Structure 1
């Protein structure tokens, strides 16, 4: 890489050996150890010559292969400076980038299957996308994992609830004040959409810039065309079998970044949609045991796949626009690393080691992430400062869990693939058979920085407004008022329409989405609702 453009204190400039290597072209391995030792102070993860981010600073949270990780640790043990008084693994807050430190709302994960090499798309019994070019069956497992996060009382993701951002959090803080914007527990799943971009073949070795551009393209595809709609969005760019995105083979297994990072190959990726958080997720089963095949289970073909997906998601949650969130600034061998980096490749059965995590409908191999409040690598953690998003911001508004979890239902309702405005699922309220009044509702608290609730609807009403209709109301239980967001509507074939209403941050609300049918044979009315968001 030429000029790394590392920003300020949170993007430490390559010093010591790294600077010497860049200026002279001399390989670090060729510098006598005695000379290298005299330049140890100030080393960072990015100046470790075995780190995947060495001379590639956009590879935030890069998970080295197991073999490269061992070399990194050996080199760091000889060259790292003394740890700070807070402890060698303690993370501190970077002050935010563009006002963003963590993903302090309910995460919206979008899976982007990048390139026609994925093959022919199908759908399995769970409603997940499958692909003929996916020999290990990785695609549906990724979808199920993100659907399952925050379900079945899992506590692997609860480690995130200690991290925060906002104007009340000082740069350099190692814990969060009570008035911070905490990451909430991600109840009800986080998968918000799946896109197969088969418009062209994925490059055989996509650059970081190409991967970032694909993430911006995906934001447009999903209709996330404002900074607000992307504030809690995350785009996972999944490259197909037998490709080598950003030269990962033998080097690393995945990384994450954001489109505004000027250290990306070719510089920052232009976006009129605000900041875009994304990750590079290679088909890393192609790397075998080096990227975790068989690390937890036998044969464990997808162990490393789910571990790296989880690793990058947790790091994005705690450091959305790197390195404005929570990273290591202690000067130790962990300097510059994020929460999951510090716990990478710890063996199953050891303290903080990787393990199977049981969620609502499935079990997935995951690794632990660093926890400041317990001073340990936590594979399970209590819900702390962030609380539970089931009593906070609105959850499962895209229904990509394949269920109506987090919603209160009455009458005839279901999550259905035919009801999807985007992604794979939407909510069907009512039925094509005669029924009566049906509804779904959810109570939530409007998070700090939000001002709007929105949803899409598509009503099929072959009757007249006298008898059948769709309608939606928003009750502000804090103020004691109720607003009709969607007046009684009876249309046929009008397609999808969007409705929005105003919310006040900190107020408690109940949103009710209703379908009224008069139970008369021959003209049953039903309504699809999808993409319910608070922004």
Structure 2
């Protein structure tokens, strides 16, 4: 056993405010106002200033009238920016993907409406946002109509749209497209714009949106957990902002994407900031606790669909977007914040700027069709089944003119839909499916809804159990393929997490590489999590990563650790590898050391768990 040749080292550790009654005429302008959240941070497009910060912005405007944008209604008029990469607005059906980023969200659950819930979400914001995006475009809500007046394909500088132009879509049947709890690692305490953009690109891959076409009408809302400070929003004077991955001014630089342009929002857990970010702005008491969450995210959503790749869409001469014009207007005033009624409830939202009426509005005639009939397709929620077991699901719609006629794409193999909306048959192939169902009424109006359908394999235990062999290395040097001396009874020098065997990579203090691999089959349609306990000790000092451990599943790099991550004891690491379902992949650990000073990477109690 090679343990004796390693260098032995000691384990090392590693206030309520008065309501503001004026439009935020410089809320996101970078021109001349040092109190703008975007001043010196131009990637913060559509940044919602805190209520206190808006007061400072307006005080500066009053003291420097020649240095601030035109605050008249004419100066608020939005003009088309010509598009970036051919993208100006979201001119199709909006697809909003919610990404709850970081293990700090806590334990995941599901409520009666099929929404994800989290043990650390003390305010209940997560299910509220999921419901809000499911409710948009239902129940004849007209808040979305304000945005439909804007379009693309017109001349740069245009301030109105012809009927023939491609207008912002109305989110008939809901804008919600999916949700992901990414608990593969913790969310950074203060993530940079670049890190948030990387998470958005990761989300596109997770949802299978791996082409530019798949992301053309999509946006990814990166929701940071309670207690974190994404982009230092708590001291930066803002509540949220949006951007796209190709913005070279992002803190940390533009984010590479093999999937086309990715629109995303930095959405902090604004309940941490209380009234500064809108708590109780519309509703009183406990019912207003998350007013700010829906208002601020509604603000960023409305700006993304009118300026998807900022600033190629619609902005004012000051640089403001449609929602910036109307930030923190009092309830009861023209275009002021209000409860917007949707098909599944009401949600606090702010008004947005309307060129048509030359003011802030909370409702507008829907332009370009898609919403005036009130036709809505009900979302049945996520479905599941098993290969070989018959399935049946009746879809339903409301509004419009009966009779209805249904069609669907993306159904699990073996299932079909009748014109009456009955999905039936016997699933033949396991997998994760996204069903897009469309209903057409007798007047020709249509509405759509999307939902997931997971088909598990027949027999074999389905989606349950642990798939790795010899997971704690207690059977010795079996099942795993390992470099000489990696698997052993090393407890006298590198303690185990449990049992008497572990896997010890590196620790020589000289140029060296150790590997540990095992192939495993992940059944189609299953949720899969790779986990392991990792201990790192080192003789290196400082913050430079000299020695590294790379963890991969197939060709996907899950994480890289180094001497910088050294700590006493073992730490549980876990990763969602559900995207590899239906494949046989090699789980691999590769440790490399440089020419001096040892670093030991010690693994124990591995698992690949299905659910």
Same fold, judged at TM 0.5 (above)? yes
- The number of residue pairs the alignment matches comes to 397
1:100-499 equivalences under 5 Å are 100-166=87-153, 169-250=154-235, 251-299=237-285, 300-329=288-317, 335-384=318-367, 386-388=368-370, 405-406=376-377, 415-419=380-384, 429=393, 441-442=405-406, 455-459=409-413, 470=416, 492-495=428-431
In the alignment, structure 2 segments of 5+ residues that lack a partner are 1-27, 396-403, 437-443, 450-524, 526-611
Return the alpha-carbon distance in structure 2 between the equivalents of residues 143 and 497 of structure 1. 20
Q: Cα gap change, 1:123/1:391 in structure 2, threshold over 3 Å: closer, same or farther? A: same
Query: Larger Cα Rg: Structure 1 or Structure 2?
Result: 2
Cα deviation 1:400-456 (Å, max 9, x = unaligned):
xxxxx438xxxxxx82422499xxxxx95479xxxxxxxx9548xxxxxxxxxx932
How far the C-alpha of 1:511 sits from its partner, in A, is 12
Partner of 2:36, secondary structure, is coil
Partner of 2:37, secondary structure, is coil
Return the alpha-carbon distance in structure 1 between the equivalents of residues 213 and 55 of structure 2. 41
Partner of 2:88, secondary structure, is coil
Q: Cα gap change, 1:221/1:289 in structure 2, threshold over 3 Å: closer, same or farther? A: same
Q: Cα gap change, 1:347/1:229 in structure 2, threshold over 3 Å: closer, same or farther? A: same
Contact 1:113 1:195 in 2 (8 A): yes
Return the alpha-carbon distance in structure 2 between the equivalents of residues 420 and 179 of structure 1. 44
1:92-107 equivalences under 5 Å are 92-107=79-94
Return the alpha-carbon distance in structure 2 between the equivalents of residues 470 and 135 of structure 1. 42
Return the alpha-carbon distance in structure 1 between the equivalents of residues 35 and 394 of structure 2. 58
Cα deviation 1:466-496 (Å, max 9, x = unaligned):
xxx64799xxxxxxxxxxxxxx996634445
Partner of 1:339, secondary structure, is coil
Return the alpha-carbon distance in structure 2 between the equivalents of residues 342 and 498 of structure 1. 37
Contact 1:101 1:320 in 2 (8 A): yes
Deviates more, 1:75-84 or 1:271-280: 75-84
Return the alpha-carbon distance in structure 2 between the equivalents of residues 406 and 499 of structure 1. 13
Alignment RMSD (CA, Å) = 3.3
Q: Which runs of 4+ in 1 moved over 3 A?
A: 43-47, 79-86, 389-392, 427-431, 440-443, 469-473, 488-500, 508-513
How far the C-alpha of 1:266 sits from its partner, in A, is 1.7
Deviates more, 1:114-123 or 1:78-87: 78-87
Contact 1:224 1:273 in 2 (8 A): yes
Could you tell me the TM-score, scaled by structure 2's length? 0.60
Return the alpha-carbon distance in structure 1 between the equivalents of residues 233 and 132 of structure 2. 23
How far the C-alpha of 1:187 sits from its partner, in A, is 1.5
Q: Cα gap change, 1:498/1:131 in structure 2, threshold over 3 Å: closer, same or farther? A: closer
Partner of 2:214, secondary structure, is helix
Return the alpha-carbon distance in structure 2 between the equivalents of residues 510 and 294 of structure 1. 37
Q: Cα gap change, 1:151/1:239 in structure 2, threshold over 3 Å: closer, same or farther? A: same
Cα deviation 1:26-53 (Å, max 9, x = unaligned):
xxxxxxxxxxxxxxxxx95343100111
Cα deviation 1:223-263 (Å, max 9, x = unaligned):
00000000000100000000000000141000000001001
Return the alpha-carbon distance in structure 2 between the equivalents of residues 205 and 217 of structure 1. 19
Contact 1:345 1:354 in 2 (8 A): yes
Return the alpha-carbon distance in structure 2 between the equivalents of residues 280 and 223 of structure 1. 21
Q: Cα gap change, 1:219/1:82 in structure 2, threshold over 3 Å: closer, same or farther? A: closer
Partner of 2:377, secondary structure, is coil
How far the C-alpha of 1:221 sits from its partner, in A, is 0.2
Cα deviation 1:167-224 (Å, max 9, x = unaligned):
xx00000001222101122211100100000000000000000000000000000000
Contact 1:457 1:496 in 2 (8 A): no
Cα deviation 1:68-89 (Å, max 9, x = unaligned):
0111112123244573998111
How far the C-alpha of 1:280 sits from its partner, in A, is 0.4
Contact 1:212 1:269 in 2 (8 A): yes
Contact 1:128 1:140 in 2 (8 A): yes
In the alignment, structure 1 segments of 5+ residues that lack a partner are 1-42, 330-334, 396-404, 408-413, 422-426, 432-439, 444-453, 461-468, 474-487, 501-507, 514-527, 529-535
Contact 1:356 1:364 in 2 (8 A): yes
Return the alpha-carbon distance in structure 2 between the equivalents of residues 511 and 110 of structure 1. 19
Q: Cα gap change, 1:391/1:273 in structure 2, threshold over 3 Å: closer, same or farther? A: farther
